[in-house]
Structures are given as C-alpha cells and as structure tokens.
Structure 1
Amino acid sequence: MSDAEKGGFLTKMIGPKRRWRQYKARVKQLPENYRTAVEAIQRYLMHFAPTDGDSSASMFEDLADLFEQAAADGTPIRGIVGEDPAEFVEAFVRNYSEGGYVPTRARKQLTDAITRAAGEDTVEEGKTV
C-alpha cells in the first residue's frame, strides 16, 4: 500500500485529521474509567468500514458527546453500554455505516476492557483479570 493509499485509508477510518485531534483531546479530558471505555470502543469501531471520513468523524464526535454527558451526569459505564458492549457498539455504528465483519477476538477485547473500566473484576481460570 502506497503512502497515498495509506493516507486515504486513514482519512476514511478517522475522518479529517483536525477533527480527529479534537476528538482525541476531548477523550483525554474524560475521567480515567470513561476514557478507558471510549478508547476500547474506539479500537472496536476501527473494525468497521465507515462509508466516508465525515461519517466516521461524526461517529467518533458523537461517542465523545455521549461519554462527556454521561460523565457529567454521573451515569455509570454499564448504564451507557449495558451488559453487552459489543451489541451496544454495533447498534451505535449502524447509525453511521453498514458496518463490517468483527472478529470474535475484538469482541472479547472490548468486553474485557469495558468490564475493567466499569470497575468489575472478572475471574478467569482462577485468576483475577
């Protein structure tokens, strides 16, 4: 993939760089557990192919809006994403694109990250995760 193709791919995934930087700055201002949840959702969203950069940028900006408001209201993370964070994200992304294939591993990583961000311990094979 040439540098031009990479640049086009990244713009398609995250939208215009200025909007991406603004989004990242907003996320950085969130309380740690909300930031952790948003970053996990962001990684998961990268598995979807947005229709265009503007849709993608709007999607990430709306995600930041949602978590900023939740943090301001004191809404717990599970109150935002529910018990199945992958289902939440897939429903969220349907508003912006047709979506794409999401590997099982990505679903597990998202679920585990949200569990940690929500302050919930999980036990796996005798280990606390």
Structure 2
Amino acid sequence: MSGVEKSGFISKVIGPKKRWWAYKARVKELPENYRAAVEAIERYLMLFVPIDEDSTASMFEDLADLFEQAAVDGTPIREVVGEDPVEFVEAFVENYSEGGYVPARERKRLTGAIERAAG
C-alpha cells in the first residue's frame, strides 16, 4: 500500500485528521479510568467498517461527549456501558455504520478492558 493509499485508508478509518486529533486531545483530558474505557472502545470501534469519513469522525466525537459528560456527572463506567460492553459498542456503532465482523478475541479484549477500567 503506497503512502497516499495508506493515508486515504487512515482517513476512512479515523476521519479527517484535524477532527481526530481534537478528539484524542479531549480523551487525554478524561480521568484515567474513563480514558481507559474510551481507549478500549476506540480500539474495538476500529474494527468496524465506516460508511464515510464524516460519520466516523462524528462517532468518535460523540463517544468523547458521552464520557466527558459521565466524568463530569460522576456516572460510573458500568452505568454508561452496561454489563455487556460489546453489546453497548455494537448498538452505539449502529448509529454510524453498517459495521463489520469482530472476532471473539476482540470482544473478550474489550470486555476485560472495561472491567479493569470500571474497577
């Protein structure tokens, strides 16, 4: 894959770079456990096939909004994602994309990461 093709692929996955870096800066400001939860969800979201760059960027921005508000309100992570983080993320992504196949090991990885972040 050439540099131009790779750059186009990355833009498809994460959206416009300026919006991506703004999102990452917001996530960096979250309390540690909320940041860990968002990063675990982010890793999982990267496995889905985006419809378009704008939808993908909006998806990550909305994820940051959700966890920023939860942190401000003191809402426990489990109240945000529920008991099944895989179900939460798959329902969340349905608003933005047709999704894609996610291997079972990645589902377990997400579940374990949320368990650690939630304490």
Where on the TM-score scale, by shorter chain, does this alignment land: which range?
over 0.9
Residue identity in the other structure for 2:95: N
Residue identity in the other structure for 1:56: T
Instruction: Give the number of the structure whose residues are more often helix, by fraction.
Output: 2
Within the alignment, does 1:39 sit opposite 2:39 as a pair?
A: yes
Within the alignment, does 1:99 sit opposite 2:80 as a pair?
A: no
Residue identity in the other structure for 1:3: G
- 1:124 — aligned with what? none
Partner SS for 1:22: helix
Counterpart-to-counterpart distance in 2, 1:44 and 1:65: 18
CA-atom RMSD in angstroms: 0.4
> Once the 2 structures are TM-superposed, how far is the Cα of residue 4 of structure 1 from its aligned partner?
1.2
Q: Deviations over 1:73-111 (max 9, x none)?
A: 000000000010000000000000100000111101100
- 2:56 — aligned with what? 56
Task: Report which of the two structures shows the higher radius of gyration computed on alpha carbons.
Answer: 1
> Once the 2 structures are TM-superposed, how far is the Cα of residue 2 of structure 1 from its aligned partner?
1.3
Partner SS for 1:116: helix
Give the count of matched residue pairs: 119
**TM-score (ref. length: structure 1):** 0.91
Within the alignment, does 1:108 sit opposite 2:113 as a pair?
A: no
Counterpart-to-counterpart distance in 1, 2:90 and 2:61: 16
Residue identity in the other structure for 1:69: Q
Query: Gaps (5+ residues) in structure 2?
Result: none
> Once the 2 structures are TM-superposed, how far is the Cα of residue 32 of structure 1 from its aligned partner?
0.2
Counterpart-to-counterpart distance in 2, 1:118 and 1:74: 12
Partner SS for 1:49: coil
- 1:126 — aligned with what? none
Partner SS for 2:102: coil
Partner SS for 2:51: coil
- 2:7 — aligned with what? 7
- 1:122 — aligned with what? none
